[in-house]
A = this chain, B = another copy of it.
Amino acid sequence: MKSQRIVLASRPAGEATALNFRLETVDTPPLAEGQVLVRNHWLSLDPYMRMRMNDMKSYAPPVAVGAVMVGGTAGEVVESRHPDFRAGDTVVAQGGWQEMSVLDAAQKGVLRKVDTSRVPLPAYLGAVGMPGVTAWVGLVHFIEPKAGETIVVDAASGAVGGIVGQLAKARGCRAVGLAGGPDKCAYVKEELGFDACIDYKAHRDFASLAAALDAAAPGGVDGLFENVGGLILDVVLSRMNAFGRITLCGMISGYDGQPMPITNPRLLLTQRLRLQGFIVSEHMHLWPQALKELGEGVAGGRLKYRETVAQGLASAPGAFLGLLKGRNFGKQLVKLT
């Protein structure tokens, strides 16, 4: 059986471009014992993939040049040589940027069955998947929000940020988002129910962004869920209350290799702040609790999210590059079937 896949053609020098990717057509290999063949219906595009394109020290090895780009997928089992799976099962998987994936079902975290009776299949790549659990772990486990506190999250209309604010609201906090442009900000406030949202594109320097934050968070900031870094981190840091908590989930503003210092780390000391970097896959014991709250929230209609869908595997590089520039709205998916 022929199918398509996208490999890393070359490493980016600075900004990633479409030339760093290559579309290939390959034969699906026969299954070995314990393997499962999955037809991927949906591919998830996420900012972390940009870091995996670089050959640098990080929490996960880089994607090799010539190898299939990594990525979460949702789809259907076509053929199985593992007793836990059979043809027709709906699954989420680490399927990569390809139409068909051969997966070792016994390998941890690679493949799991999901129930699509109350949660739509692509939501398992967003609100009820890795991005949603990332929001939950960073907020609930690391920031430890208390009712009445103010929580700030950037990339607030995105797959992670949108969930962070809604989970914070459910815990009695004031939720303040940052997003790019008036449409995203309106969505964050009106649809997601944040108390305030700052259009960072309208505030390009420290003084302007700080004034906007002072208006949105008049009592200062107790928790920061950081996806972006750079100027936003500097500004929010300057408004942190004593004993505030910062969780570093992403630093998308520096993924192309730009310098991105924390200008005034003295504040970490004088405000007695805690800052924690984390990777959601290293906190597997928290996933069941997180997925329970997230799944019930989506099934019950309380937890809202938006998806941007690109059509066909060939559109994945362009959609991914747009994601890095904030051109998507909500969770970026690729529909493969």
Residues of A whose CB lies within 8 Å of any CB of B are 51, 57-59, 229, 233, 242, 248-251, 254, 259-266, 268-279, 282
Q: Are A59 and B271 in contact (CB under 8 A)?
A: yes
Q: Are B266 and A265 in contact (CB under 8 A)?
A: no
Chain B contacts for A57, CB-based, 8 A: 270
Q: Are A273 and B277 in contact (CB under 8 A)?
A: yes
Among A51, A250, A261, A278: residue with most chain B CB under 10 A:
A261
Within the complex, what minimum Cβ distance (angstroms) separates A131 from chain B? 16
Chain B contacts for A262, CB-based, 8 A: 261-262, 265
Q: Are B265 and A261 in contact (CB under 8 A)?
A: yes
Q: Using known A-B contacts A59-B242, A242-B59, A272-B282, determine if residue A254 contacts B266 with beta carbons closer than 8 Å.
A: yes
Chain B contacts for A271, CB-based, 8 A: 59, 277
Within the complex, what minimum Cβ distance (angstroms) separates A53 from chain B? 14
Among A233, A249, A265, A271: residue with most chain B CB under 10 A:
A265
Within the complex, what minimum Cβ distance (angstroms) separates A240 from chain B? 10
Chain B contacts for A275, CB-based, 8 A: 268, 274-276
- The distance in angstroms between the C-alpha atoms of A248 and B276, with both chains bound, is 13
Q: Using known A-B contacts A263-B259, A265-B229, determine if residue A277 contacts B282 with beta carbons closer than 8 Å.
A: no
Q: Are B272 and A268 in contact (CB under 8 A)?
A: no
Q: Chain B: which residue is nearest A268 at the CB level?
A: B277
Q: Are B229 and A270 in contact (CB under 8 A)?
A: no
Within the complex, what minimum Cβ distance (angstroms) separates A18 from chain B? 25
Chain B contacts for A259, CB-based, 8 A: 263-264
Partner of A277, one of B51, B58, B254, B269: B269
Q: Are A260 and B265 in contact (CB under 8 A)?
A: yes
Within the complex, what minimum Cβ distance (angstroms) separates A222 from chain B? 15
Beyond contacts A250-B269, A274-B274, A275-B276: 5 other A-B pairs, Cβ-Cβ < 8 A, are A59-B271, A233-B265, A261-B262, A261-B263, A262-B265
Cross-chain pairs A/B with CB under 8 angstroms, 9 sampled: A51-B270, A248-B265, A259-B264, A260-B266, A269-B277, A272-B278, A273-B276, A274-B274, A274-B276
Chain B contacts for A266, CB-based, 8 A: 229, 251, 254, 260
- The distance in angstroms between the C-alpha atoms of A233 and B268, with both chains bound, is 13
Within the complex, what minimum Cβ distance (angstroms) separates A38 from chain B? 30
Within the complex, what minimum Cβ distance (angstroms) separates A236 from chain B? 13
Q: Chain B: which residue is nearest A257 at the CB level?
A: B266
- The distance in angstroms between the C-alpha atoms of A69 and B51, with both chains bound, is 51
Q: Chain B: which residue is nearest A142 at the CB level?
A: B274
- The distance in angstroms between the C-alpha atoms of A277 and B240, with both chains bound, is 13
Q: Are B277 and A272 in contact (CB under 8 A)?
A: yes
